[in-house]
Amino acid sequence: MASHGGQTPEKNKIGGLSRIQEKNRNLILDAALGEFSKLGYSGATVERIAAEAGMSKSNLLYYFSSKGAIYTAALAHILDVWLAPLKTLDPEGDPAQELSDYIRQKIEISAENPQASRLFANEVMQGAPQILPILETDLKRLVSEKSKVIRSWIAAGKIREVDPVHLIFTIWATTQHYADFSIQIKALTGKDLSDEDFKLETEQAVISLILTGIGLAVPGEPVHPK
Amino acid sequence: MASHGGQTPEKNKIGGLSRIQEKNRNLILDAALGEFSKLGYSGATVERIAAEAGMSKSNLLYYFSSKGAIYTAALAHILDVWLAPLKTLDPEGDPAQELSDYIRQKIEISAENPQASRLFANEVMQGAPQILPILETDLKRLVSEKSKVIRSWIAAGKIREVDPVHLIFTIWATTQHYADFSIQIKALTGKDLSDEDFKLETEQAVISLILTGIGLAVPGEPVHPK
DNA sequence: GAGAGATTTGACCAAATGGTCAAGATGTAA
DNA sequence: TTACATCTTGACCATTTGGTCAAATCTCTC
């Protein structure tokens, strides 16, 4: 079926791809992430993505059959990274620690991959034409599962009685906001998550607000301000 | 300069516009809001906007000189509505009441104008090419002012010591999230803000989390769950 | 109801863009 | 080195799309 660079196949391969294919696919996906996140699906052009990836448009279309295929691949490429942190919420752990870690992770990842964040946001805002099935199955299952964890903490009297799903939404909303709206953040504060100090300050503020919101004391903060 | 429907001007006018102009401009702006919010700036086409507004493309371009002009106008059209609620935060009022009202208002407006919410989000995510100046001046001033209000509540010992700006960001993030990511919300919960019950539940959840987060008791909820 | 300006539209155009194709360049197993 | 598959590209094409224009059609004032 697919041999490479000579007669007999079975060499120079990484998961069925030649070195050249591996390299170029990655170049393309990186470039695509940048362009799609900057301008949205329609705003991005195949030519610019190709240029950004350092190759001709024709060559890019040799690796991906269409613009849509690039988009789908770029989205799939980031999706795991994007949804993974929630999986680490450990029912056995200390709620304050677990949730702090989760929020910190989300902010950290948002800060490192603002483009991925925007690509994801864009996709969802347009009705998630590509990933709706994933949201309805994998993500839904994951959220169900983690809601149960949170509910167990409530039942154990470890945190205040809150709706787990809304809690998760709030965490997502807040962390995404700092990445997706970074221009607005910067216009208003002069800084954004790329500033290390501001990132830490943001983590602290969000963690403090949410932990307090669910009835937990925040380490290093007075319990009663009054 | 601009007279209409006859020789002498000075009649049939609303703010310098004839009835027909007034009507058509509104039709166009409504249609534009729908299209731009659905597909982003590049994804929307002048022809579809015109069709949606019930007129020919040529006629639309008689009212707005270019696609960009429509976009700018649509954005300006929603901006006031979008940023207005914050203005109502009253320093004299009760913090719990003021913030509850603000959050409720934001969610209400998001539920009623999800398109406007997405248009705004889209614009900001792409770097706010049109409205950055407004963010840097008007919005910045407004946020400064309201931060002062929040700080005065802190100084008076009425709420916990939190960073006012991060508090505002959190409220924006959360309320916008439910509108902009409604597809995801629906995929995970089966409902969205267009469902009246879910909207009330969301308002309650967000208000509860945030008020508690800043050290306020929420009306109708036990103070100590343990 | 006549005249003048306002409104509306279809025909048309140039640029941008996604995608095809055949030909040439390159890499690799033998 | 050779033979063959892979890789790369420029030329090319059809479609879409933002925008122009001149010719109608309408509306309003007098």
> How far apart are alpha carbons A129 and A127 in whole angstroms?
6
Task: Nearest by CB to B226, from A157, A166, A226: name it.
Answer: A157
pLDDT digit string (tens) for chain B, length 226 residues: 333 333 333 445 566 777 888 999 999 999 999 999 999 999 999 999 999 999 999 999 999 999 999 999 999 999 999 999 999 999 999 999 999 999 999 999 999 999 999 999 999 999 999 999 999 999 999 999 999 999 999 999 999 999 999 999 999 999 999 999 999 999 999 999 999 999 999 999 999 999 999 999 776 665 544 3
> Which residue is closest, via its CA, to the C1' of D16?
B45
Instruction: Give the Å distances, CA to CA, from B85 to A172, A191, B115, B137.
Output: 23, 25, 17, 17
Catalogue the E-assigned strands of chain B.
13-14, 17-18
Picking from B12, B59, B78, B82, the residue whose alpha carbon sits closest to that of residue B25 is: B59
Nearest chain A alpha carbon to B140? A188
> How far apart are alpha carbons A52 and A5 in whole angstroms?
26
Contact at CB, B206 and A124, closer than 8 angstroms? no
Length A34 CA → C28 C1' (Å): 34
Average pLDDT over residues A210-221: 84
| CB proximity A11–strand C (7 Å threshold) | yes
> How far apart are alpha carbons B125 and B166 in whole angstroms?
19
* Residue range A39-52, pLDDT digits in tens: 999 999 999 999 99
Find out whether A102 and A86 touch, Cβ atoms under 8 Å.
yes
Contact at CB, B135 and A202, closer than 8 angstroms? no
Find out whether B100 and B211 touch, Cβ atoms under 8 Å.
yes
Q: Kindly report whether the global pTM for this prediction surpasses the value 0.85.
A: yes
- Where on the phi/psi map is residue A94: left (φ > 0), alpha (ψ -120 to 50), or beta? beta
Length B25 CA → D30 C1' (Å): 29
* N-to-C CA span, chain A: 73
Nucleotides of D under 7 A from a protein CB: 3-11, 16-22, 26-30
User: Across-strand partners of A120?
Assistant: none
Measured CA to C1', what is the nucleotide nearest B18? C6
Nearest chain B alpha carbon to A143? B188
Residues in chain B within 8 Å Cβ distance of A220 = none
* N-to-C CA span, chain B: 73
CA distance B195 to chain A (A): 15
Q: Which H/E stretch holds residue A18?
A: strand A17-18
> Does residue A53 register a pLDDT over 80?
yes
| CB proximity A188–strand D (7 Å threshold) | no
- Between CA B86 and CA A32, with CA B74 as vertex, the angle to 5 degrees is 95
- Dihedral of alpha carbons B135, B140, B142, B146, sign: positive
What pLDDT shows up at residue A44?
Answer: 98
Q: Which of residues 58-97 of A touch B (CB under 8 A)?
A: none
